[in-house]
C-alpha cells in the first residue's frame, strides 16, 4: 500500500524529510538541529502513519550520514536492509522497511558524478543485472574540404597502369587496392565507443558527431554545436527511415517492435537498467 503526499499534524520543516509514497531523508554531517530531535520526529511521524494506514508498508530511505543505524532501528521499529558500504567503508545511504519487501538489495556505482554509491532494491527475483557493454566502432569522417582535396588529387591521376595486365581479376585487384589506398589517405578510419545503453540507430558516425557537439557546447561554441545538432537529427532520421524500409509491410509485429525502438521505449528501459 502506497503512502502519498501527506502533511502531518506536527510537520516540522527543520528536518529534510519528505513522505511521497516513501520517506526520503537527508541528515547532513553538521546539522543545525539536535539529532535526538530528528529521531523523536521520525518516531512521531511513523506512529501517525501506522495509525492512519495500519496496512501500509513503510519505507524510509536516504543519506543518514553519522546517524547510528541501530538507534534508527530502535526508535522507528524499522529494519535496515543495506549491508554493504555506500561511501568508503561506511554505510551512509540506507533503506529501512517495516516488512521485508525487497528480496534483492545491491550497492552499485552511481550513474551520476558522486562519491556515494547507489543502492538498488527490488523484489523480483527473476530480474537480472544489466551489464553495460562497450563496443568499438569505426567510421570515416567526411567533410566538404576532404571532398575538395580528394577531387583535386584524383583529377591528375592516371589509371592506365591497370590496363597493362591482361588478366581481368588482376586488373580488378589492382584497382581495388589503389581505391582503398586513396580512401584511407583522404578519408582515414576513426574509432568511437558505443555502449549497450545507446539507441539502436546510433552508428559510429552519429556517436562521433554527438561527442563533437558536446565538446563544442563545453567550449561555448553554441552556433557550431547547433548546426551540428541539425546534421545529427537529419542523420538519425535517415537511419530510422532505412530501418523501417527493411521491414515487410505485412509483418505487423516487426513494425511495432521497430517503432518502439525508434520512439525510445526500449531505450528508456535500457537507461533504467544501466
| Residue 103 in domain | yes
Q: What is the pLDDT of residue 62?
A: 92
- Final residue of a structural domain among 122, 149, 171: 122
Domain that includes residue 103, residue range: 16-122
Helix (H, G, I), strand (E, B), or coil: what is residue 61? strand
| Residue 5 in domain | no
Q: What is the number of structural domains in the chain?
A: 2
pLDDT greater than 70 at residue 15? yes
Q: What is the pLDDT of residue 7?
A: 45
| Residue 233 in domain | yes
If one compares 5 and 190, the residue with the highest pLDDT of the two is 190
Task: Please tell me whether residues 139 and 251 are part of one structural domain.
Answer: yes
Task: Please tell me whether residues 202 and 225 are part of one structural domain.
Answer: yes
Across the range 9-32, mean pLDDT stands at 79
Which range, of 34-38, 189-193, 195-199, 268-272, averages the lowest pLDDT?
268-272
User: What distance in Å separates the CA atoms of residue 111 and residue 89, rounded to the nearest whole number?
Assistant: 20
Confidence of residue 2 (pLDDT cuts 50, 70, 90): very low
Task: Please tell me whether residues 264 and 172 are part of one structural domain.
Answer: yes
Q: 85-93 long-range CB contacts below 8 Å, 24 or more apart?
A: 85/117, 86/116, 86/117, 86/119, 87/115, 87/116, 87/117, 92/63, 92/64, 92/65, 92/116, 93/61, 93/62, 93/63, 93/64, 93/117, 93/118, 93/119
pLDDT greater than 90 at residue 96? yes
Confidence of residue 129 (pLDDT cuts 50, 70, 90): low
| Residue 21 in domain | yes
Give me the chain's average pLDDT, please. Answer: 81
| Residue 95 in domain | yes
Asked if residues 80 and 73 have their Cβ atoms less than 8 Å apart, the reply is: yes
Task: Please tell me whether residues 102 and 150 are part of one structural domain.
Answer: no
| Residue 1 in domain | no
- Final residue of a structural domain among 60, 90, 122: 122
User: Taking the CB of residue 205, how many other CB atoms lie within 10 A of it?
Assistant: 19
Task: Please tell me whether residues 84 and 164 are part of one structural domain.
Answer: no
Tell the residue number behind the cell numbers 521520525, with chain if given.
Answer: 42
Tell me 113's DSSP state. S
- Final residue of a structural domain among 122, 148, 175: 122
Task: Please tell me whether residues 174 and 266 are part of one structural domain.
Answer: yes
| Residue 220 in domain | yes
Task: Please tell me whether residues 97 and 142 are part of one structural domain.
Answer: no
Task: Please tell me whether residues 57 and 149 are part of one structural domain.
Answer: no
Asked if residues 228 and 209 have their Cβ atoms less than 8 Å apart, the reply is: yes
| Residue 6 in domain | no
Amino acid at each position: 500500500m502506497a503512502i502519498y503526499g501527506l502533511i502531518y499534524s506536527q510537520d516540522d520543516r527543520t528536518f529534510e524529510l519528505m513522505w511521497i509514497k516513501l520517506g526520503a531523508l537527508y541528515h547532513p554531517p553538521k546539522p543545525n538541529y539536535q539529532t535526538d530531535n530528528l529521531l523523536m520526529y521520525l518516531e512521531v511521524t511513523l506512529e501517525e502513519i501506522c495509525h492512519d494506514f495500519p496496512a501500509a508498508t513503510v519505507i524510509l530511505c536516504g543519506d543518514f550520514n553519522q546517524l547510528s543505524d541501530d538507534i534508527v532501528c530502535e526508535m522507528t521499529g524499522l529494519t535496515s536492509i543495506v549491508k554493504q558500504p555506500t561511501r568508503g567503508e561506511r554505510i551512509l545511504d540506507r533503506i529501512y522497511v517495516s516488512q521485508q519487501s525487497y528480496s534483492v538489495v545491491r550497492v552499485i556505482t552511481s550513474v551520476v558524478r558522486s562519491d556515494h554509491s547507489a543502492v538498488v532494491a527490488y523484489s523480483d527475483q527473476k530480474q537480472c543485472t544489466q551489464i553495460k557493454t562497450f563496443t568499438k566502432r569505426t567510421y570515416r569522417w567526411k567533410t566538404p574540404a576532404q571532398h575538395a582535396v580528394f577531387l583535386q588529387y584524383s583529377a591528375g591521376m592516371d589509371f592506365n597502369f591497370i590496363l597493362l595486365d591482361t588478366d581481368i581479376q588482376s586488373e580488378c585487384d589492382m584497382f581495388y587496392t589503389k581505391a582503398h589506398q586513396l580512401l584511407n589517405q583522404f578519408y582515414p578510419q576513426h574509432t568511437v565507443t558505443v555502449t549497450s545503453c545507446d539507441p539502436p540507430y546510433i552508428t559510429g558516425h552519429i556517436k562521433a558527431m554527438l561527442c563533437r557537439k558536446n565538446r563544442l557546447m563545453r567550449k561555448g561554441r553554441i552556433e557550431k554545436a547547433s548546426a551540428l545538432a541539425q546534421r545529427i537529427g537529419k542523420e538519425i532520421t535517415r537511419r530510422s527511415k532505412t530501418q523501417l524500409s527493411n521491414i515487410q509491410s505485412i509483418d505487423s509485429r516487426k513494425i511495432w517492435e521497430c517503432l518502439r525502438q525508434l520512439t525510445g521505449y526500449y531505450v528508456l528501459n535500457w537507461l533504467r537498467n544501466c
